[in-house]
Amino acid sequence: MAQKHSDIEKIKQLIDIMKANDLTELEIEHGDDKIALKRSQSEPPRYFVPALAPSAGSGAEAKESPGIKGPSTEAQSEEELVEITSPLVGTFYAAASPDSEPYVETGSQVESQTVVCVIEAMKVMNEIKAEASGTIVEILVKNGEAVEYGQPLFKLRPGDS
Amino acid sequence: MLSRILIANRGEIALRIIRACHELGIEAVAVYSEADKDAAYLKLANQAICIGPAGAAESYLNIPRIISAAEIGDVDAIHPGYGFLAENINFAQICKDCGITFIGPPVEAMRLLGDKVEARKLARKVKVRVVPGSEGTIENEVEALKLANEMGYPMMIKAVAGGGGRGMRVVHNDISLRAAFSAARTEAKAAFGDGSVYLEKFIAQPRHVEVQVIADNEGNALHFYERDCTIQRRHQKMIEESPCGVLDERTREHLAEAALKIIKEAGYVNAATVEFLLDKNNKFYFIEVNARIQVEHPVTEMVTGHDLIKWQLKIASGHTIRFRQKNIKHTGVAIECRINAEDPENNFAPCPGKITRYVAPGGPGVRLDTHVYQGWTVSPNYDSMICKLIVHQRTRAEAIATMKRALSEFVIEPVKTTIPVCLDILSQNLFVKNKIDTGFVERHF
């Protein structure tokens, strides 16, 4: 009788441990003693972090981490970045000509009238301006790549130089 | 055969063209505006290129962006669909200049037939009766009044650069002609870039009958019989059928011959529709040529068994017509209902919005041409037509019964549509007896 009572106590304790640690299965073997407990899973709470800035072609993805509240630090710095998107359909060129230096590189400071690239459309080279001031953080397309309207070309951290 | 084409259009016709391309082994490049980025048919294309924001002027009508997309998409040809740039001479010329095949007529034929006055002159040249009217453009009110009084009212003022039911006004006497004349010119200038107008006698209670033709670049042409598009509201077709149930065989033949004569005289290549009015004595009068594939082409496809889009692609690839006219047959009756996202109870006001429940009709004799699905958001930026429901049966009575059944099965919610109006029309005694004219819808609804 006493053993049964202590068994039940043990089981109760184990259940508490499982709940506290969000465990669904627990199996303990101690010599010949063996106990296995399974807990039915209720939906854990889900927390979504704000979507990262979407890259060309992919949809925004939501991260789920049960128990985490608020944005992660990575998402937080992404939120400050601004995208320079293509206003045209055409071919992206990083420099004025194959022999020239690229207009910008990562780390380049730009102002709204700074030419950041050229997009060739129907044999016309169109200079694309930054339209914002800040620092180029990432270049999202390759030289000679076809780009569509609205396609992100650069990530910019806004701010005055 | 062409190997890769760009479709300079959207919605159901873009999907239609993608389907024909897949069956012919042609790669299809689709373009889309930001409003259409979730369209399901884009995934069926080999490549989809975003060409601009929602507004048509910045996307589907934007020639530089479309040509750029054709360049980066590395295509041989562009299919313009219907509407948008399909009858834009400038666009056709630019395609030619850029070495891209335009899937449609040569620029000169398009220019000739796009000028409604020149088209009438051409018809008269090949001895096809035209709606009586002015020889050329009418320059001023005085001329207009003179002609109207000679021919007798009612008269119709029409835009030379118009077409597709747009830029037309009926006038019943000198007072209304005076009132309408300069307004018509202003509207035409704004809508078509050309304020020139001409006059036609208004034919009372006509039927609208049109002939489908295909021509190759060696001067061969075939007709695929006629379509009856008399059920119209404000000159926009609502219900179309083939064949025209009131034509006797002789008139049918003459009508088709007249259409072929006009097409050949114009040096036309590819698909076209020659439109006529039929008066109460079954006399037909040429009105205009639509130099493109039309919305209602499925009706002809069902009765003849020919795929008109594939014909277009083959002709553009340089194929010549090997079929004999006598081998083009029509069987049964096909009817199409255009379904628009409009509220019939609110003067057909457009009803954009998300379609949260969509159940498509099916069963024997039913064809549905649409880009729409459950979850699709109908945009306010474009034409309100969302589906074309087509049926084909052995007799007109059976076709009507099947269409009514299919319309009753069709669920599109919560967006309001013209489905109830179509059902209503199909139940009208006069429609069933085929005693209709182009004023029928407006008189009854």
Chain A interface test: which of B46, B72, B95 (most A C-beta within 10 Å): B72
Report the number of distinct structural domains present in chain B.
3
CATH at B168: 3.30.1490.20
The answer to whether position B48 is within a domain reads yes
Query: Are B273 and B401 in a shared domain?
Result: yes
Handedness of CA B116, B121, B122, B124 (dihedral sign): positive
Flag whether pLDDT at A52 surpasses 60. no
Domain around A19: 2-38
Q: State residue A39's pLDDT score.
A: 75
What is the rounded CA–CA span in Å between residue B136 and residue B117? 6
B356 with B378, same domain: the answer is yes
User: pLDDT for A34-45, tens place per residue?
Assistant: 888 877 655 554
Q: Are residues A19 and A61 in the same domain?
A: no
Residues 6+ positions from B167 with CB-CB distance below 8 Å: B158, B159, B161, B184, B187, B188, B191, B192
Tell me whether residue B116 is in a domain. no
Classify residue B119: in a domain, yes or no: no
**How would you write the pLDDT of chain B (445 residues) with one tens digit per residue?**
999 999 999 999 999 999 999 999 999 999 999 999 999 999 999 999 999 999 999 999 999 999 999 999 999 999 999 999 999 999 999 999 999 999 999 999 999 999 999 999 999 999 999 999 998 999 999 999 999 999 999 999 999 988 777 778 999 999 999 999 989 999 889 888 899 999 999 998 999 999 999 999 999 999 999 999 999 998 899 999 999 999 999 999 999 999 999 999 999 999 999 999 999 999 999 999 999 999 999 999 999 999 999 999 999 999 999 999 999 999 999 999 999 999 999 999 999 999 999 999 999 999 999 999 999 999 999 999 999 999 999 999 999 999 999 999 999 999 999 999 999 999 999 999 999 999 999 998 7
**Which among B143, B174, B201 is the end of a domain?**
B201
Distance between CA atoms of residues A134 and A111, nearest Å: 7
Interface residue A127 vs chain B (CB under 8 A): no
Does B61 reside within a domain? yes
Q: Are residues A152 and A87 in the same domain?
A: yes
Phi-psi sector, B358: left (phi>0), alpha (psi -120 to 50), beta: beta
In angstroms, the CA B349 to CA B237 distance is: 16
Q: Measured between CA atoms, how close is A151 to chain B, in angstroms?
A: 8
Same structural domain for residues B379 and B308? yes
Domain of B164, in residue numbers: 132-201
Does residue B195 sit in the same domain as residue B211?
no
Q: How confident is the model at residue A50 (pLDDT cuts 50, 70, 90)?
A: very low
Query: Would B117 be classed as within a structural domain?
Result: no
Contact (Cβ atoms closer than 8 angstroms) between residue B28 and residue B42: no
Same domain, B316 and B405: yes
Spot the catalytic one: B16, B120, B207, B292.
B292
pLDDT of residue A79: 67
Q: How confident is the model at residue B146, as a pLDDT?
A: 95
Judgement on whether residues B237 and B138 belong to the same structural domain of the protein: no
pLDDT, position B44: 98
Nearest to B252 by CA among B276, B226, B231: B226
Q: Which residues of A touch B69 (CB under 8 A)?
A: 89, 148
Domain membership of residue B87 (yes or no) is: yes
Tell me how crowded residue B223 is: count the other CB atoms within 10 A of its CB. Answer: 24
Chain A residues whose beta carbon lies within 8 Å of the beta carbon of residue B51: 89, 148-149
B418 inside domain: yes
Which tens digits make up the pLDDT trace of A76-131? 455 689 999 999 999 999 999 989 999 999 999 999 999 999 999 988 899 999 99
Domain count, chain A: 3
Instruction: Please tell me if residue B132 touches chain A, with a CB cutoff of 8 Å.
Output: no
Which of B65, B67, B71 is the closest to A149 by Cβ? B65
Q: In CATH, what number is assigned to the domain containing residue B15? A: 3.40.50.20
**pLDDT of the residue at A48:** 38
Q: B286 and B435: one domain?
A: yes
Q: What is the model's pLDDT at position A60?
A: 37
| Same domain for A156 and A87 | yes
Smallest Cβ–Cβ distance between A148 and the set B49, B71, B98 belongs to B49
User: Tokens 């109460």, residue?
Assistant: B280
Residue B297 shares a structural domain with residue B425: yes
- Pick from B153, B169, B201: which residue ends a domain? B201
Residue B125 distance to chain A (closest CA, Å): 41
Closest CA to A84 of A135, A50, A41: A135
Residue B51 and residue A148: Cβ atoms within 8 Å? yes
Q: How far apart are CA A14 and CA B351, in angstroms?
A: 61
Token readout for B426 is 């199909």
CA distance A127 to A130: 10
Task: State the pTM of this model.
Answer: 0.83
The distance of A122 to chain B (nearest Cα, Å) reads: 6
- pLDDT for A47 equals 44
pLDDT for the residue numbered A10: 81
- Quick check: bond before B414 cis, omega within 30? yes
pLDDT at site B434: 97
